[in-house]
């Protein structure tokens, strides 16, 4: 097949995800190569990738030979073997390494293909735990409005942000219950921290009491939430939620699919909080996006009652992505990229904060190498800027050689560059972001 030299259009046989036909009519950029924090398209354009592949897995950047070699070597050694009644060395080793770096008592692991499957599997394990404890009625799961936990089966019930994705697939398995998110900039209760007494967390208890505490198997949430654009809850939030779980015998699933592997300046974002999850989910940065992998970790206590895990994926515990995970973690640790995420992440955040004087910039926030600009039409009321203005700015940035993205609720930009990014590349990106904001303001007559 000849390499394409132009945009993809409706004549292509390929189906894209979340891409309206109108966008395909305009032509879709074909990315053909990556190197460090840069990607190149088939028309000869070069971009700084400020979102690590847009869905943000590429922690180590593009073209990492050592990682690619580890994947090749594993393929030659053992390309595949089943997770059913057999084990393989990379999966055993990766589980052991993860036991050493995941939060506290998380100690047992199973491997899937992506984050959605990891979420699905964590929910299944939670259900298994209750079932084997003789507690068979716990079918409800509490998530939060604005959450994103993937697109699969029962996992999609927790989808609180890309609402059409959930609606189209309804009716779903019953049992989805939503609480408000800890969105301090636009508090759903119109309160201000710390006077709010963290009502967004405390109200979870009231919701559960109303719904029936004995019917809940799990509460799921990201430690720092993507949906509205990188929301780090106050330090009291997760301990309060943990207390509610303990009160009612509900398991706490912390979804580290984006946050894990250094994204927030710690190996796992749970470490920013004084909380012990019962289960955690991981994906994305675990292999730096080079091959697909999702993972679930749980405590010994969760696994203890489970006689058999009634679950099977052909590609579960797959040796090749597990080898990629082992190499990725080795490189993250050796090159101190988690520390770089914290230190350069602070530089990134401070640089973005300099944009707060712009009239459409509402709040800049972030943790480690994961930051956001929440836009507004009115700094007093904090009413969101229409998504159209944000997509205009994203298109402008692309024209200028910078790839950025909208947070799912479509009122903020989210930035999550490869953790190998350097100061000069961040400075180049800032210059473009500022130009795009200024141009949009001008066009809005501000
Ligand atoms: C927090 C969280 N959980 C789960 C998922 C689903 O992961 P995947 O897209 O790999 O299926 C995502 C995807 O962005 C996510 O952000």
Whether residues 50 and 87 share a domain: the answer is no
Whether residues 389 and 258 share a domain: the answer is no
Looking up tokens 């993507």 gives 226
Whether residues 379 and 301 share a domain: the answer is no
CA of 292 to the centre of ligand 1 (A): 12
13 part of a folded domain: no
- Is residue 260 within 6 Å of ligand 1 at its C-beta? no
Structure tokens at 287: 């292999």
Structure tokens at 331: 């490189």
Strands 405-406 and 371-375: unpaired
Give the mean pLDDT per block of 10 residues along the chain (446 residues).
Answer: 74 96 96 98 97 98 98 98 98 98 98 96 94 94 95 69 70 86 97 98 98 98 97 98 98 98 98 98 98 98 95 94 99 98 98 98 98 98 97 98 95 97 98 98 96
CB contact at 8 A, 391 and 398: no
- Is residue 115 within 6 Å of ligand 1 at its C-beta? yes
Whether residues 214 and 264 share a domain: the answer is yes
95 part of a folded domain: yes
pLDDT at 168: 65
Which of 258, 276, 275, 180 has the alpha carbon at shortest distance from 222? Answer: 258
Q: Which conformational region is residue 53 in: left (phi greater than 0), alpha (psi within -120 to 50 degrees), or beta?
A: left
- Is residue 116 within 6 Å of ligand 1 at its C-beta? yes
Coarse DSSP helix, strand, coil percentages of the chain, rounded to the nearest 5 percent: 40, 15, 45
Whether residues 72 and 48 share a domain: the answer is no
CB contact at 8 A, 338 and 384: no
Whether residues 130 and 142 share a domain: the answer is yes
Task: Give the integer Cα–Cα distance in Å for 232 and 272.
Answer: 9
pLDDT at 160: 77
Residue 256 alpha carbon, nearest atom of ligand 1: 1
Last residue of a domain, one of 334, 369, 403: 334
Q: List phi, psi (to 5°) of 420.
A: -90, 0
CB contact at 8 A, 309 and 110: yes
pLDDT at 391: 96
Structure tokens at 263: 């994204």
Q: Residue 276, Cα to own-chain centre: how many angstroms? A: 19
Last residue of a domain, one of 307, 334, 361: 334
- Is residue 56 within 6 Å of ligand 1 at its C-beta? no
Task: Give the integer Cα–Cα distance in Å for 115 and 321.
Answer: 13
pTM of the predicted protein model: 0.96
Q: From residue 201, how far is each of 157, 208, 224, 232 by CA, in Å?
A: 20, 12, 14, 13
Task: Give the integer Cα–Cα distance in Å for 229 and 364.
Answer: 10
Q: From residue 124, how far is each of 155, 175, 368, 376, 428 by CA, in Å?
A: 10, 14, 31, 40, 45
Whether residues 346 and 330 share a domain: the answer is no
Q: Give yes or no for a cis peptide into 171 (omega within 30° of 0).
A: yes
Whether residues 42 and 150 share a domain: the answer is no
Q: List phi, psi (to 5°) of 414.
A: -125, 135
7 part of a folded domain: no
pLDDT at 384: 97
Give the CATH number for residue 162. 3.40.640.10
Task: Give the integer Cα–Cα distance in Å for 255 and 241.
Answer: 14
- Is residue 150 within 6 Å of ligand 1 at its C-beta? yes
16 part of a folded domain: no
Strands 412-415 and 140-144: unpaired
Structure tokens at 446: 């501000």
Q: Which conformational region is residue 142 in: left (phi greater than 0), alpha (psi within -120 to 50 degrees), or beta?
A: beta
Residue 115 alpha carbon, nearest atom of ligand 1: 7
- For residue 36, the SS3 value is strand
100-130 residues labelled b (16+ CB within 10 A) or e (exposed): eebbeebbbbbbbbbbbbbbbbbbbbbbbbb
Number of domain units in the chain: 2
pLDDT at 163: 75
420 part of a folded domain: yes
Structure tokens at 68: 């690619």
Q: What residue owns the CA closest to ligand 1's atom 13? A: 150
Whether residues 34 and 70 share a domain: the answer is no
Which of 302, 250, 295 has the alpha carbon at shortest distance from 128? Answer: 302
Largest CA distance in the chain: 66
11 part of a folded domain: no
Q: List phi, psi (to 5°) of 130.
A: -70, -40
Q: What residue owns the CA closest to ligand 1's atom 2? A: 149
Looking up tokens 């000069």 gives 424
Whether residues 120 and 238 share a domain: the answer is yes
Residue 116 alpha carbon, nearest atom of ligand 1: 11
Give the CATH number for residue 40. 3.90.1150.10
Whether residues 319 and 346 share a domain: the answer is no
CB contact at 8 A, 113 and 293: yes
Of 55, 150, 292, which is best to mutate to test ligand 1, by the most ligand atoms within 8 angstroms of its C-beta? Answer: 150
Task: Give the integer Cα–Cα distance in Å for 365 and 417.
Answer: 15
10 part of a folded domain: no
- Is residue 257 within 6 Å of ligand 1 at its C-beta? yes
Last residue of a domain, one of 275, 300, 334: 334
User: Which domain does 49 fall in, by range?
Assistant: 21-63+336-443
Structure tokens at 261: 């592997």
Whether residues 36 and 56 share a domain: the answer is yes
- Is residue 112 within 6 Å of ligand 1 at its C-beta? no
DSSP characters over 101-124: HSSTTEEEEEEESSHHHHHHHHHH
């Amino acid at each position: 097949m000849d390499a394409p030299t132009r945009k993809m259009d409706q004549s292509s046989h390929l189906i894209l995800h979340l891409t309206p036909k109108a966008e395909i009519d305009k032509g879709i950029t074909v990315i053909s190569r990556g190197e460090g924090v840069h990607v190149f398209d088939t028309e000869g354009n070069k971009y700084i990738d400020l979102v690590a592949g847009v869905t943000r897995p590429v922690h180590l950047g593009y073209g990492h030979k050592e990682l690619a070699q580890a994947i090749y070597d594993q393929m030659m050694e053992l390309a595949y073997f089943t997770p059913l009644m057999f084990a393989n060395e990379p999966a055993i080793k990766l589980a052991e390494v993860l036991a050493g770096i995941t939060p506290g008592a998380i100690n047992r692991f199973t491997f899937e293909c992506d984050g959605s499957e990891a979420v699905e599997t964590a929910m299944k394990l939670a259900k298994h735990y209750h079932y084997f404890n003789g507690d068979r009625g716990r079918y409800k799961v509490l998530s939060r409005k604005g959450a994103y936990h993937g697109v699969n089966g029962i996992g999609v019930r927790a989808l609180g942000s890309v609402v059409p994705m959930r609606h189209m697939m309804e009716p779903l398995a019953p049992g989805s219950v939503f609480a408000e998110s800890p969105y301090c900039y636009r508090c759903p209760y119109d309160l201000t921290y710390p006077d709010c007494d963290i009502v967004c967390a405390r109200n979870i208890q009231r919701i559960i009491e109303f719904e029936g505490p004995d019917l809940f198997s799990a509460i799921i949430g990201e430690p720092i939430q993507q949906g509205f654009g990188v929301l780090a809850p106050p330090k009291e939030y997760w301990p309060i939620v943990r207390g509610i779980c303990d009160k009612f015998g509900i398991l706490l699933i912390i979804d580290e699919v984006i946050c894990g592997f250094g994204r927030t300046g710690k190996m796992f974002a749970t470490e920013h909080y004084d909380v012990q999850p019962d289960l955690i989910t991981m994906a994305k940065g675990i292999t730096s996006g080079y091959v697909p992998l999702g993972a679930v970790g749980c405590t010994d206590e969760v696994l203890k009652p489970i006689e058999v895990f009634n679950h099977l994926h052909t590609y579960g515990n797959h040796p090749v992505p597990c080898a990629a995970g082992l190499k990725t973690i080795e490189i993250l640790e050796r090159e101190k990229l988690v520390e770089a995420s914290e230190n350069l992440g602070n530089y990134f955040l401070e640089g973005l904060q300099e944009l707060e004087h712009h009239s459409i910039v509402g709040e800049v926030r972030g943790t480690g190498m994961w930051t956001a600009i929440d836009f507004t039409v009115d700094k007093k009321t904090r009413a969101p800027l229409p998504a159209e203005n944000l997509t205009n700015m994203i298109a402008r940035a692309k024209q200028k050689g910078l790839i950025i993205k909208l947070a799912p609720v479509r009122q903020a930009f989210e930035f999550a560059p490869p953790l190998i990014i350097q100061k000069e590349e961040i400075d180049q990106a800032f210059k473009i972001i500022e130009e795009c904001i200024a141009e949009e303001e001008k066009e809005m007559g501000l």
